[in-house]
Amino acid sequence: MEISETPVDLKRTLIQKGPKFRSHTIIFDENTAYLKPTISSLLFCVVYVVVGLFLMALSVIVYVKNSQLDFAIFLMIFGVAITTFGCTLLKPFAKRIIFDKETGKFKNNTDRTVHIENIISLQINNKMVTSKHGISYPCYELNLLTKNGRRVNILNHNDLQQLKSDAEKLAVFLSVELTDLQREIIL
Amino acid sequence: MKKLNRYLIGIFLTFMSMSAFAAEGDPSAFSAMLAGISSGVDTFFKDYLGWFVNLIFYSAPVGDTKFPIIVGWLFVAAIIFTFYFGFVQFRRAGLALNIVRGKYTDPNSKEEGEVSHFQALTTALSGTVGLGNIAGVGVAVAIGGPGATFWMIMCGLLGMASKFFECTLGVKYRTVLPSGAISGGPMYYLRDAMAERGFGGLGKFLAVGFALMCILGSFGGGNMFQANQAHAMLTYAFDVPPEYGIITGVVLAALVFSVIIGGMPSIASVTEKVVPYMAALYLGMGLIVILMNLGQIGAAFAAIFDGAFTGAGVAGGVIGALIQGLKRATFSNEAGIGSAAIAHSAVKTKEPITEGLVATLEPFIDTVVICTMTALVITIAGLNVAPFDGAGLTGVQLTAASFSDSVGFFKYFLALAVIMFAFSTMISWSYYGLKAWTYLFGEGKAMEMIFKIIFCIFVIVGATIQFGAVIDFSDAAIFAMSIFNIIGLYFLMPIVKDELASFVARVKSGEIKKYK
């Protein structure tokens, strides 16, 4: 069987969208490097949970005080939907994303575990997040490449300065090459 | 900045707890307090901004009624653009549809994350369905009678040319800001294209004027009107007291806050995904009502055409019906206003004309199809009878009552759709307003934060107020944008005419390939 070689496009971003704020920073210990969510991003996600719980509480009040079932159900549905949404936003913050030299593994609880020895380089990529609302802002990714050609995202946020600083430290920590592959984006 | 963010979240959480307390506390004292706030806001808008509303809606006497000059301004512009571009909206409709269907897109050049033309169409469809189609038509028919629908359709057909024109310019003269964000819209084409034509000074003046009005429009029609009508819908569907609008306002403001201040794209993405389903739901409900009353369609259309040319029961007769039709159609499809040019400027294309052509479909779908459907549902229900003075049900409540007249539980789905549409529109307008704000004051976290905070406060104000002055202001601010936009557009007509001719010639010569 003939195996065709597909070149890995390192300039391509791995995630379509991304936040317009710094979502994580990398914290380094002697043998580990892990991603720490920023407090402000965490608090903005909590807003959804608070709003959702408020609507659920309001639903109970409406039912108990006025016995108005239709409005209570309406509020409850909205409340549950927004709370669930808030929880899904918070979920990634609960994940521990770590490079552990002792176990020799990188885990992000999303992709298959990567053996640190297989990581050959890190890349910084840029993209423009756009939407129908007319929103457009630049966003940046820090991705890793394994010797098998697999690419995995590490960071994805809007603060280039912090991302570059984290990337440089991580490259030293992993003893791999860091390449800045930002390109001009023409819409 | 971090500290500021935390402080802001604190304020919102305090508001939330106040609202919760309000829901449980003494309702009469709470109602009186809110009525007082509402009255105060209304008085403020009347006393301090009434002159602005009167200026924008300055009317000339026509027969026994008064015709707002601004309405004629938009209508005449749409007629002129239609003639000047050789009825582009009709003659190039096939080309526009082919672009949307991806016939001019190289299937091998599609990049990661790039939306397909079908996705672009569904996005455009969902973007056009909003409160203008639901509440706006309710207002038009309540005050202008069924005949207003005919004039809405006319305005939609002609407005397609205005939208083609401004969206083409929006893409052609977009700019990359120092932050890397793409920014476009009338502010930029008025400044840069007018300078190209040798009217740099006038262009700068028009750009600043437009940006100012866009900011006011984003607080008015793009914000307060939406929040107000969202709560009005809850009042109709669930008998929620109007004074409890503050709770609706705080909840909506908290969600808007997280998107525009927190920079969370997720909720905006979720809204983008949900809104097309809401649009489909609204269309589905409308079709069901129409199919249930097929026998009355003929009579409904007859009422629309008779009303358009007799103006029976309408204050001001035919002119009165025409004014309401044109006003509400413009509010709904935003053709000539300039806001669409801001939204379309972020599109990925090398040919500005393609975006202009695709944009022509929006007023057609919005006004000619969806507004007509809403008007038919209202006319069929017959809850709106002469004299058409808006004294009875109006706005979103008239539309909701008309849907519920055929299927009672439709009001619940409508309430869901209205809230989603209102939220989606507020997000869009927050960005339009922010673009105008950064144009005037430059990019900067502190300055942008001021706009965003004011925007969130206006969401609460909009949902809380119960009087007409704020709604009048919302209308005036949106229409005021067209003054500056259209003056500039008259100067820029040759640019787009050349662009269109070049594009059509390249399509005919095969330089621009057809792939399917």
pLDDT digits (tens, 9 = 90+) for B465-489: 866 777 788 788 889 999 999 999 9
Q: For residues B123, B128, B133 and B134, what is the CA-based torsion angle, rounded to 10 degrees? A: 40
pLDDT at B110: 54
- For chain B, the structural domain boundaries read 33-106+113-509
Q: Distances in Å between the alpha carbon of B101 and those of B90, B111, B122, B355?
A: 17, 17, 11, 13
Q: Based on the number of CB atoms within 10 Å of its own CB, is B47 exposed (0-12), middle (13-18) or buried (19 or more)? A: exposed
Task: Name the pLDDT band for B271 (thresholds 50, 70, 90).
Answer: low
Residue of A87, A132, A140, A151 to mutate, testing the B interface (most B Cβ within 10 Å of its Cβ): A132
CATH of domain A24-37+95-180: 2.30.29
Q: Distances in Å between the alpha carbon of A45 and those of B253, B262, B264, B372?
A: 15, 9, 8, 40
The tens digit of pLDDT for each residue in B204-257 reads: 999 999 999 999 999 988 899 889 889 988 998 998 888 788 889 999 998 888
Closest CA to A157 of A21, A17, A8, A10: A21
Q: Which residue of A has its CA nearest to B262?
A: A44
pLDDT at B404: 92
Distance CA A42, CA A24 (A): 10
Q: What is the mean pLDDT of residues B41-49?
A: 81
B1 pLDDT more than 50: no
Closest CA to B285 of B425, B145, B417, B132: B417
**Selected residues 54-113 of chain A with any CB under 8 Å from a CB in chain B:** 54-55, 57-58, 61-62, 65, 68, 70-71, 74, 78, 82, 85, 89
Whether the CA torsion B105, B111, B112, B113 is positive or negative: it is negative
User: Which chain A residues have a beta carbon less than 8 Å from that of B179?
Assistant: 137-138
Provide the shortest C-alpha distance from residue B20 to chain A (in Å). Answer: 7
Task: Name the pLDDT band for A133 (thresholds 50, 70, 90).
Answer: low
The tens digit of pLDDT for each residue in B355-397 reads: 899 899 889 988 999 999 999 999 999 888 878 877 788 888 8
Q: Does domain B33-106+113-509 have CATH number 1.20.1740.10?
A: yes
Start-to-end CA distance of chain B, whole Å, equals 52
Residue A15, token pair as written in the block = 């995630």
Mean per-residue pLDDT of chain B: 84
The tens digit of pLDDT for each residue in B315-339 reads: 878 888 899 899 889 888 889 999 8
Provide the shortest C-alpha distance from residue B44 to chain A (in Å). Answer: 30
Tell whether A137 lies on the interface with B, counting CB pairs under 8 A: yes
Q: What is the mean pLDDT of residues B65-87?
A: 93
Tell whether B269 lies on the interface with A, counting CB pairs under 8 A: yes
The tens digit of pLDDT for each residue in A151-170 reads: 999 999 888 999 999 999 99
pLDDT at A135: 62
Task: Name the pLDDT band for A61 (thresholds 50, 70, 90).
Answer: very high
What's the complex ipTM?
0.77
- For chain A, the structural domain boundaries read 24-37+95-180, 41-92
Ranges A164-168, B270-274, B450-454: which has the least confidence = B270-274
B137 pLDDT more than 50: yes
Range B413-417, long-range pairs (CB < 8 A, 24+ positions): B413/B281, B413/B285, B414/B134, B414/B233, B414/B237, B414/B282, B414/B285, B415/A74, B415/B233, B415/B234, B415/B237, B415/B238, B416/A74, B416/B278, B416/B281, B417/B134, B417/B278, B417/B279, B417/B281, B417/B282
Residue B72, token pair as written in the block = 């004629």
Are A31 and A101 contacting, i.e. CB atoms less than 8 angstroms apart? yes
Q: What is the mean pLDDT of residues B148-177?
A: 92
pLDDT at B125: 57
State how far Cα B512 lies from the chain centre: 33
Greater confidence, B214 or B44?
Answer: B214
Tally of CA atoms within 13 A in the half-sphere of B171 that contains its CB: 24
Provide the shortest C-alpha distance from residue A158 to chain B (in Å). Answer: 10
State how far Cα A48 lies from the chain centre: 18
Distance CA B446, CA B131 (A): 32
